[in-house]
Copies of this chain bind each other. A is one copy, B any other.
Amino acid sequence: MVAGPSSAGPGKDRLRLWIRLLRASRTIEAELRERLKKEFDTTLPRFDVMAALYRSPEGMLMSDLSRFLLVSNGNVTGIVDRLVSEGLVTRARRNGDRRTSMVRLTEEGSQSFAAIASAHESWVGELLGTVSEDEARRLTGMLKSFRSNWEGRE
């Protein structure tokens, strides 16, 4: 979160960038989390899972979710468990491979997500309001390239 022992020298600019990046995303994330809780009584991880499923009406495997959301398998299990118990998501056993199950949004889950996502988008617009749309595109480009370069994924 913060700097190391010294504060000048090679690599310091990258360290400073990382600290900024982390502080920015933590600040915004905290604000979004709080609003999701207050306005919709839900959480960011639940929202993330529902967002992923919303993009895939045919459903996703647990491991797909895990890979896409960059979180561990066991983590997804717990979040999906809670979403299932709230009736927002279903686990459908498949005929082909009985180890896996397709996770899908229910009709209720889908409608619920659409409402939340709309608010979420306007919150992000507000929180990033001082970044012009043009600047946003440039920043996005930089972030995209450095990440895909680093790990090869994308």
Contacts and interface: CB of A to CB of B under 8 A. Distances in A.
Interface of A: 1-5, 10-18, 20-30, 44, 47-48, 51-52, 54-55, 68-70, 113-114, 117-118, 120-122, 124-125, 127-131, 133, 135-137, 139-140, 142-147, 149-151
A4 B121 contact: yes
Given A17-B131, A145-B130, A124 B27 contact: no
Contacts of A1: 44, 47-48, 51-52, 69-70
B142 A17 contact: no
Q: How many copies does the complex hold?
A: 2
A21 B135 CA distance: 14
Contacts of A4: 51, 117-118, 120-121
A150 B70 CA distance: 28
Given A1-B48, A5-B54, A28-B18, A146 B131 contact: yes
Given A11-B125, A13-B137, A20-B139, 13 more contacts: A1-B69, A2-B52, A4-B120, A11-B122, A17-B128, A18-B127, A20-B140, A21-B25, A21-B139, A21-B143, A23-B143, A127-B150, A128-B150
